[in-house]
Amino acid sequence: MKKPVHSLFCLYALLRLNIATAQQPEKIVISFNENVTYQTIQNFGASDAWSCQFAGNWPAEKKNAIADWLFSMDTLPNGNPKGIGLSIWRYNLGAGSAEQQDGSGIKDEWRRAALTLGKDKKVQGQNWFLQAAKERGVQQFLGFFNSPPVQFTKTGKAYAAKGKCNIDSANYKAFANYTVDAVKQIAKSTGVTFDYISPVNEPQWDWSDGSQEGCPYSNIEISQLVKVFSSAFQENKLKTELLLAESGHLKYLLPANDKQNKDNQVVDFFQPSSSAYIGNIPNVSNTIASHSYFSTSPFANGMQLRSKIKNAVTQIKNLHYWQSEYCILGDNAGEINGSKKDLGMKSALYVAKVIHEDLAGANASAWQWWTAISAYDYKDGLVYIDKNKEDGQISDSKMLWAVGNYSRFIRPGMKRIQVDLPEVKGMLVSGFASADKEEIVLVLVNEDESERSISLKSVSHSLHYEKIAAYLTDNTESLGKHNASINSLVVPAKSLLTVVLQ
């Protein structure tokens, strides 16, 4: 006996429904609580070393395009952000190797840096980007030294000999006075007064190979130098704060075995019982800064180290932690190699994971990239240019826009909030709230080969968010704006999605 046609049709439809349901990815519920907060975000940034000294003299159309990518908070007609809206700009205060030219001992001209107080106009390009940042709304500025100016160094060069500190204590005062004059001159010529000065950089390294400007210091030497800087700033009524200590590896914020007079910097600089204590010195920022190089892989190890840093910083009242320099270097436990530039998503996703590590793992209040503009075949730039002093091609990278998934939307003064995500392969999420809690920003990273279906849930229910927008960075889009629903979000494979609730 034949079954009725309608019965067969119903059976067929039911089978299709079951198959379709089985194929639908399970929806992941991400809950957030804006009433549980952690660190306050102070800024996202990058530095002008070393290409801006040349790129700042390129044709106006090209350098303006680069500045827009880095600094702009404007929106394009299609709703996409015009730029990534960096909120701090790091300015390289050179030691004078550029003036020494080949006699500097630094073979690569593009790694030399000019004296700010020089008379040869070598800093005009840098100053152009400094002003461009200000014109586009950047409100925080930092000047950093890799080495003291050559006229104060022991070697007469901008790098050290045999790993020894390259400046005598007798020249600390001259170095500090030079810095005061440099701050004043830059303010006069550009209208920008530095909020921060970072007088030392990666003091744990030897800096004896002449690859770039650099100077090693012990913690005691840093402490003595900072005290002299503080006095000079006070004498000149300079409100600029001193940022320490830009350590070359996160482990040197903690006790380490290989650099015993250059490690344990949280305690040495900010614990009152320490002989290197500077926490009570005027003009010293209540901040400890370090660089995330060589500390990011494997992910579990990176998070474990950052948890120790968070705990150490928490022991000092009101102390903040900044991740002040990063690009992809080394082999990172075989996960990704720093050599050979990559404009695509592999590097972008890795960078996003590092940002997540530092913000969610170490409670970093600031996250800053190394060189904003690169002319090299490394994974060290957000924007890439030809190694040409006068003109050339420019290109953005997915790393630029990956940083933008954070910097464009997580603005200074926002607080990181509690976010709960079920354990999902290749997925990370962090959340942030404005001071009035009327805006929530969630950054979702999906490293997996599969897309993820998401819904969002406010645990507190204290506020009702009426608007939602999503900004996607993947192989085809760079902060592309999408309409979204709190109950139905799709995070494509190999992508970053920033969700803004208002």
Domain ranges of the chain: 29-37+418-501, 42-296+402-412
Q: How far is CA 266 from CA 224, 287, 305, 309, in A?
A: 16, 9, 14, 9
CATH fold group of domain 42-296+402-412: TIM Barrel (3.20.20)
Nearest partner of 151 among 130, 127, 168, 134, judged by Cα: 168
| Eight-class DSSP state of 365 | S
Per residue in 140-152, pLDDT (tens digit) is 999 999 999 999 9
Classify the C-alpha dihedral 159-150-369-374 as positive or negative: negative
Which of the four pLDDT bands, split at 50, 70 and 90, describes residue 14?
very low
Average pLDDT value for residue range 429-458: 96
CB proximity list for 140: less than 8 A, separation 6 or greater:
42, 43, 45, 87, 88, 89, 195, 196, 412
Alpha carbons 258 and 294: distance in angstroms, whole number? 15
Structure tokens at 354: 């590092």
CA atoms lying within 13 Å on the CB side of residue 402: 32
For residue 229, give every residue at least 6 positions away whose Cβ sits within 8 Å of its Cβ, in sequence order, or none: 172, 175, 176, 179, 197, 199, 242, 283
Same fold, 29-37+418-501 and 42-296+402-412: no
Q: Which pLDDT value is given to residue 25?
A: 60
Closest listed residue to residue 47, CA positions, set 328, 413, 397, 324? 324
In which band, very low, low, confident or very high, does the pLDDT at 462 lie, cut at 50, 70 and 90? low
Contact yes or no for 71/477 (Cβ under 8 A): no
Q: What is the DSSP letter of 357?
A: I
The pLDDT of residue 463 is: 65
What is the gyration radius of the CA atoms in the chain, in angstroms?
Answer: 25
Strand locations in 254-386 (E): 284-291, 320-325, 366-374, 381-385
pLDDT score of 120:
75
Whether the Cβ atoms of residue 481 and residue 79 lie closer than 8 Å to each other: yes
User: Looking at residues 233-238, what average pLDDT do you find?
Assistant: 98
Given a cut of 70, is residue 2 above it in pLDDT? no
Secondary structure in 3-state letters for 175-240: HHHHHHHHHHHHHHHHCCCCCEEECCCCCCCCCCCCCCCCCCCCHHHHHHHHHHHHHHHHHCCCCC
Can you give the pLDDT at residue 5? 42
Reply yes or no on whether the pLDDT at 230 is more than 70: yes
pLDDT at 231: 98
- Judge whether residue 427 has pLDDT over 70: yes
- How do residues 261-273 score in pLDDT, each as one tens digit? 999 999 999 999 9
Mean pLDDT within 57-80: 98
pLDDT tens figures, 312-364: 999 999 999 999 999 999 999 999 999 999 999 999 999 999 999 999 999 99
Match 């500190």 to its residue by tokens. 165
The two three-digit tokens of residue 100, written as one number: 């020494």
- Residue 301: per-residue pLDDT: 98
Q: Which of 22-31, 74-83, 366-375 has the lowest mean pLDDT?
A: 22-31
Report whether 482 contacts 472 (CB < 8 A): yes
* Better-predicted residue by pLDDT, 192 or 119: 192
Mean pLDDT of the chain: 94
**CATH class, 29-37+418-501 region:** mainly beta
Mean pLDDT of all residues in 179-207:
98
**Percent of the chain's residues with pLDDT above 90:** 91
> What average pLDDT does the segment 74-102 reach?
98
pLDDT digits (tens, 9 = 90+) for 97-125: 999 999 999 999 999 999 999 777 899 99
Q: Which pLDDT value is given to residue 260?
A: 86
d(CA 393, CA 292): 30
What pLDDT digit, counting tens, does each position of 271-321 carry? 999 999 999 999 999 999 999 999 999 999 999 999 999 999 999 999 999
Q: What's the count of helices (H) and strands (E) in the chain, helices before strands?
A: 11, 19
Distance, in Å, from the CA atom of 143 to the CA atom of 181, rounded to the nearest integer, reads 13
Mean pLDDT score, 231-248: 98
